[in-house]
Amino acid sequence: MNIFEIDPLQDPRWSSLVASNPRASVFHRKEWLHALQCTYGYEPVALSLCSPSSTLTNALVFCRIRSRLTGRRLVSLPFSDHCEPLVESRDEAELLISGIKSRVTQSRCKYAEIRPVSTTPWEEIMPTITSMFYFHRVDLRPCAEQLFRSFDRNSVQRKIRRAERESLGYSEGTSPSHLAQFYKLLVLTRRRHCLPPQPLKWFRSLISAFGKDLKIRVALKGDTPIASILTLSHGKTITYKYGCSDPRFGNLGGTALLFWRTITEAKAGGFEEFDLGRSDIDNVGLVGFKEHWGAVRSTLCYRRYPVEFVAPEERKWTRWVMRHLVSAAPDSSLITLGKLLYRHIG
C-alpha cells in the first residue's frame, strides 16, 4: 500500500481529521504545528495511507528537526506531552511506522520518536522505550460539589478557601499585560528548576495561533501577580500546559485558585476532561500535586527508532552544566539562553 506525505498546514483535510478523530488532541491541531514552525523553524509533516483525492482518515504527524547541536530527528511532536498516531488498526499502524522508519534511513536522521498515549500496538511495533512519564487527567463530568469533595482536604480544599479569605485578585486573557505577568513568573519558576525559560516568541506564536482557545490566568495579591497558568482547549478537553508562581506568596493559595477557576469555567463551557500533562516519574512533588486534584494517573512511554543510547554520565554532566549556568546567569542571559537552546531540544 502506498504511503502519502502531506503538509498538515496546507492540506485542507487536516483540520477535519483532527476535529473528528477522538484520539486527536490539542497537539495535533494546525495551530500547534504552526507555532512550532514559526518559533523554531521545524517542518511539520504527516504520513497517511489516504490518497490526496480521498477523505483523510489516518495519519502520523511529526516534525523534521535539523540541528547542528542535536542532529536531524523526526519527532511526533516536539514540546508536546503526547501525540497519539491517528490510526484505526494495527495494520495501519505498522504501515505508517514503516514509512517513518524508512525516512530515518533516507534522511540520515538520528532517530524517529513517537509519543503515544496508548500502549497497543506500539509496544510491539516500536518495543524500545526511551523515556517514561506519568500522565494525569481529571474527569470533569461529576458535578462541581462532587469534584471539590474529591480534592485533597489539606493541600487543595484549604488552599482554595485560603485564596478566598485573602481576597486574591483574578484576571484572565491574552493581552500583552497578561503575557508579561505570566512570563515574569515563568522566568522565576524556571530558574528555581534550574532551566532557562522558553522563548517569549513561543508564547506569542501560541496566542496568535490559538486565539480564544488559549487563556492565561493570573492570581494577584493586590497589584502583584503571584501565580499564573496557561491552558489550551480542544474538543471536550482543556489542557494545562504551563504554570508558574512566586514562592514568596506560596501559602496564599494562588495556584489553587487558578486551577479551581479553570475547572469551574471548563464545566460551564461543557468540557469533560482536564488534561494535566506529563510529569517526570521521580518528581514526587508534581505527581502528588496533580493527584491531590483527583487526577487519574497513567504512564506515557516515548518510543524511538533506532535506539539512541546516552550514557548516564553524559546525562549527569548535562544536568550539572545546566544547573550551574542557570544559577549564575541574570534574567536577561537566562532568557537569551532559552532562545538559543530550545530549538535544538524539540
| Same domain as 140, residue 110 | no
Beta-bridge mates of residue 114: 76, 303
E-state strands within the chain: 4-6, 43-48, 60-67, 71-76, 111-114, 129-139, 169-173, 214-221, 224-234, 237-245, 273-280, 296-305
Domain with 11 in it: 4-127
pLDDT one-digit tens code per residue, 254-268: 999 999 999 999 999
| Same domain as 175, residue 289 | yes
| Same domain as 165, residue 66 | no
| Same domain as 167, residue 40 | no
Residue 309 lies in a domain: no
Separation of alpha carbons 277 and 254, rounded Å = 20
User: Contact 58/96 with Cβ under 8 angstroms?
Assistant: yes
Residue 326 lies in a domain: no
Element at 206 (helix H, strand E) = helix 200-210
Angle in degrees, CA 43, 83, 187, rounded to 5: 75
Burial class (CB in 10 A: 0-12, 13-18, 19+), 142: middle
CB-based burial, 207-235: b 16+ in 10 Å, e otherwise: bebbeebbbbbbbbbeeebbbbbbbbbbb
Separation of alpha carbons 123 and 118, rounded Å = 9
User: Contact 232/254 with Cβ under 8 angstroms?
Assistant: no
pLDDT of residue 315: 56
Residue 271 lies in a domain: yes
Per-residue model confidence as pLDDT tens for the chain (346 residues): 799 999 999 999 999 999 999 999 999 999 999 999 999 999 999 999 999 999 999 999 999 999 999 899 999 999 999 999 999 999 999 999 999 999 999 999 999 999 999 999 999 999 989 999 999 999 999 999 999 999 999 999 999 999 999 999 999 999 999 999 999 999 999 999 999 999 999 999 999 999 999 999 999 999 999 999 999 999 999 999 999 999 999 999 999 999 999 999 999 999 999 999 999 999 999 999 999 999 999 999 999 999 765 545 445 556 665 676 777 788 898 999 999 999 998 8
Identify the CATH number of the domain in which residue 250 sits. 3.40.630.30
pLDDT one-digit tens code per residue, 129-148: 999 999 999 999 999 999 99
